[in-house]
Amino acid sequence: MDDLQNVPYSILRDAYGPPERPARGRSLKVFTSVVASVVFLVSLVGLIVNQFPETGEVPRLSTPTTSSLGGDEERLPLPRGVAEGVSAKSYPSLSDSASYNWTESMLAWERTAYHFQPPKNWMNDPDGPLFHKGWYHLFYQYNPDSATWGNITWGHTVSTDLIHWLYLPLALIPSEWFDWNGCWTGSATILPGRDIKMLYTGDTVDAVQVQNLAYPSNLSDPLLLNWTKYENNPVLVPPEGIGLTDFRDPSTAFLGPDSEWRVVIGSVINTTGIALVFHTTNFTSYDLVDHVLHSVEGTGMWECIDFYPISTNSSVGLDTSVVGPNVKHVLKASIDDLKLDYYAIGTYDPDNDTWTPDNAALDVGIGLRYDYGWWYASKTFYDPVKERRILFGWINETDTEKDDFAKGWASVQAIPRVVLYDNKTGANVLEQPVEEIESLRLNSTTFEDILVEAGSAIQLDIGNATQLDIIAEFEIQGTDSLKAMAFTESNISECIDAETKTSYGPFGVAVLADESFSELTPIYFRVVKDDDGNLTTYFCADESRSSLAPEVLHTVYGTDVPVLDGEKFALRILVDHSIVESFAQGGRRVITSRVYPTQAIYGAAKLFVFNNATGINVTATLKIWELESAFIRPYPLNHI
């Protein structure tokens, strides 16, 4: 370990090497980690203060949230994970002391039927998705001990169709000094010849973020059951000038014109989010490029960087190393301060490793998002079987940890999405559920040209309304004369709740609603006309009445969505118990909703179309499928 004495961060232990494991349990590890972390944090604070001698103040990227409850200023608890140097992994509810009286039946209903989630406990970021010898592999951040974040290992699952998943044994566990406090997010790179390199962030015994290499112990094994950590890890440590806890989540590597691989890693300098680029030929030694791939002031820490090519004249996905004519590059960063995934489309120069957005106003962190709801830490991979770019994303909870303990699990993975370039707008990507979701479709019901008059709601008789695939189109009657109508609402510049009536909306679908509307989750459009006659369409999801439980998040999500001339208002909605994924205009905009109904569950869950506008009538055409369970279960390893 002599070569580690010159790493560019303070060595806090007298000797490095794999610590001895306790004979039983994890209590010794927890004690050792806490002591080491305290020593590290004291040292780190001293280091930072010395860097700002004039004031002794440490710049903050975010400040603890406060909220006034009953007139008294009360500080919310720091979300889990923040003190450990990662993004928030819990929702700090204002109402922990007023938890709903959940029954076992209610909590059992919340578990999804066709979204991937482990049998129990906590899950977060998707890791290293890949295809190998007939199987799609997904790894994920997992706590095998609890329904809260901590003790992060890599869970592992496989599927032949991205829908019907089979659980496998853990792939990576914290076992060495370089990942003692967690095996964090990472990415897979498939080399020529199908060799696999897996880079992941390790949280060291001193709480320093480093990059480590792992690879399959047996590449001929289709299930990739066993993984070997490179003996000389870490392969990358925080470069000079980069914070010890601001260096994480290596991207999939891509090959440059000089036959060297590039790996992108997110970080921050002051409040500027940055994407660092490293070159390697062997995945064990790296050279840092002397400039960033890209940066955006004021966006804070970039984590879970993703960088990939996208065809502008084809629906075929591209391998991560492709460059050339009719190719743009997508740069995505998970913005730690906001817990949102932003992307931008631009041009990559492989000769000098720089990327330039097509539209500076839509740059990373200030422009477009993959998802305008509760969805984060996404990662894509190239699927060589169907030549497509597949996107995974993490859906966190918005209830309390107390509730998560009660149900025994927390978080799910979104349905994988195909990412395409939107040739019609030339300004965004399209996200669509993988076609394999259609294998779950059972009976269908079609409703054609339903007249939904202003101020009305119509219940749709479809039977079970908790596992659905909904395709809906809406037309405003008299659309041709819409611009000539006198009504204007120039004061509306964002999504507002579905109860608020305006001239041209809202209209859409209310899912997970009970007959009395005590609970409902409306997904809808609202058209707004300004004083100059310009029309803007907002796509929204209203969770403000999705649950009677006081402790869960009640909010309205949404954004503007381009609706081009000749297009109808189009929705695709996947309902899976407590998860609703909504896609507008072919996937130009997407909203994921995490909801916790107490009444609109089981047979009491109903589906409605509604029109809360005051100045228009709409017609609705829908096709609705009930979806069966994906029957996610353990792989029968005893049959191998």
227 strand-pairing partners:
216
347 strand-pairing partners:
356
Q: How far apart are CA 373 and CA 526, in angstroms?
A: 17
What is the phi-psi region of residue 349: left when phi exceeds 0, alpha when psi lies from -120 to 50, beta otherwise? beta
- The whole-angstrom distance between residue 574's C-alpha and the CA centroid of its chain comes to 17
Quote the radius of gyration of the chain (alpha carbons, Å): 25
3-state secondary structure of 593: strand
3-state secondary structure of 5: helix
Q: List active site positions.
A: 125
3-state secondary structure of 407: helix
3-state secondary structure 514-583: CCCCCCCEEEEEEEEECCCCCEEEEEEEECCCCCCCCCCCCCEEEEECCCCCCCCEEEEEEEECCEEEEE
Q: How far apart are CA 513 and CA 130, in angstroms?
A: 38
Secondary structure element (H or E) that encloses residue 369, with its range: strand 368-369
Contact by Cβ (8 Å): 376, 394: yes
C-alpha angle with apex 108: 105 to 113, nearest 5 degrees? 140
Q: How far apart are CA 464 and CA 511, in angstroms?
A: 12
Which of 467-482 are b and which e, b meaning 16 or more Cβ less than 10 Å from the residue's Cβ? bbbbbbebebeeeeeb
Q: How far apart are CA 609 and CA 97, in angstroms?
A: 36
Q: How far apart are CA 624 and CA 227, in angstroms?
A: 43
Q: How far apart are CA 492 and CA 74, in angstroms?
A: 32
Q: How far apart are CA 144 and CA 510, in angstroms?
A: 36
Q: How far apart are CA 236 and CA 354, in angstroms?
A: 21
Cβ-in-10-Å burial (0-12, 13-18, 19+) of 63 comes to exposed
Q: How far apart are CA 214 and CA 198, in angstroms?
A: 5
Comparing CA positions, the residue from 445, 477, 478 lying closest to residue 463 is 445
Q: C-alpha distances in angstroms, 402 versus 92, 100, 155, 398, 409?
A: 11, 11, 23, 12, 11
Question: Which pair of tokens denotes residue 110?
Answer: 């919340």
Contact by Cβ (8 Å): 485, 479: no
Q: How far apart are CA 61 and CA 300, in angstroms?
A: 6
Q: How far apart are CA 618 and CA 611, in angstroms?
A: 7
